[in-house]
Amino acid sequence: MDSLSSRVKKVFEHCDKSLEQIIIVNTGAADPNFLYLSGFTSGLFEYSYLLLSQGSVTLLTSVLEYETARSEASKEMKVICINSSKELSEHLEKFADGKKIGINEGFVPYLIYKGIKKRAKPKKIVDISDALLETRIIKDDEEIARIRKAVGITKLALVLIQKEFVEGMTELQLASKFDSLSSSLGSEEPSFKTIVCFGKNAALPHHFPDDTKLRRGDFILIDAGAKIRNYCSDLTRTFIFGEEVLKENKDYLEKKRMYDTVKQAQLKAIKAIKPGLKGKDIHNIAQEYIDNAFSGEYRGRFIHSLGHSIGIEVHDGQGFSPNSDLVLKPGMIISVEPGIYLPGFGGVRIEDDILIEDDGALVL
């Protein structure tokens, strides 16, 4: 991993030059920036504060997390155990009194915000969520290694799971088999709730598995991810169940054609990825391919963005969407997931995670 101070330095580089201090609060809902800037891979750190300035990183935490923090903290981080509300106020005031401070407004509940204002007495509080996103969207070597490992596990699980397909099984049963397979391959937890769709359910991009039974000729769509030390993967595969005996079936040919169209759209998009292009340029390549295939038969059936940045969060900020002005840069990891959805019939989505390099995209 980059040293902690270099991550902090990068965040400040993306902020307004007049910003003096940053306070990252981890409440009940973990702020991914807290994980990014602390480097911690264990512990909940509820209501802990990271105090960042150009030259220092200080953690204020409770006795509950103190030992975890001490064992995981890099040598650049000062860890302080807070035992009372009064102590918290004292430390916040010492850090921020009269200064301009930055917070990540999306993760600071109003109650905590008021508390910071009252306790720390800053001159001004500004939102730095954009600077945090801009910093985190470029991955360092340690982050890339973790995501690669997570991707490897999910990819392998998506191959091995095919042995488990049995006529009559339910989506829930297959989802549970997938999760246990993924965990046996080393996933620390699913990066989101595993999506399994049979048949026409595959036309619903975020269908949750239920007791729908698998029938011959059905689409099987699985969208799933693993987590390694806080970092996510996100992949999708679509299969046609019992494909080998379906060759002359009319629906089978239609399904196969949908699949091939999505696959082509994905290949074209991946091939076009280059630093300097914008997120929307890549989305549009896939969109136009799908819209124009087979005299427009699938026009308007690709109904979401082509991809999203992946990291600590499975949707780690921006990506390939119709309006994305994100300028592509080496070190970004983004999913590429075109799809075609025909309500009442089924759907196909194929998703891989790519790393942008100097000369194009590397499929992880």
Interacting residues toward Mn ion by CB under 5 A: 234, 335
CB 200, min distance to Mn ion, A: 21
Cβ distance to Mn ion smaller for residue 205 or 242: 205
CB 224, min distance to Mn ion, A: 10
CB 307, min distance to Mn ion, A: 7
Cβ distance to Mn ion smaller for residue 31 or 234: 234
Cβ distance to Mn ion smaller for residue 65 or 337: 337
Cβ distance to Mn ion smaller for residue 143 or 234: 234
CB 118, min distance to Mn ion, A: 41
Alpha-carbon gap, residue 155 to 27, rounded angstroms = 33
CB 351, min distance to Mn ion, A: 5
Cβ distance to Mn ion smaller for residue 179 or 234: 234
Alpha-carbon gap, residue 291 to 281, rounded angstroms = 15
Looking at residue 351, what DSSP letter applies? B
Alpha helices in the chain (DSSP H): 4-14, 32-38, 63-72, 85-96, 110-120, 129-136, 141-160, 171-184, 250-272, 279-292
Cβ distance to Mn ion smaller for residue 65 or 179: 179
Alpha-carbon gap, residue 138 to 149, rounded angstroms = 18
Per-position DSSP letters for 31-98, written without gaps between them = PHHHHHHH---S---TTEEEEEETTEEEEEE-HHHHHHHHHH--TTEEEEE--SHHHHHHHHHHHHTT
CB 268, min distance to Mn ion, A: 18
**Residue 160: burial class (beta carbons within 10 Å; 0-12, 13-18, 19+):** middle
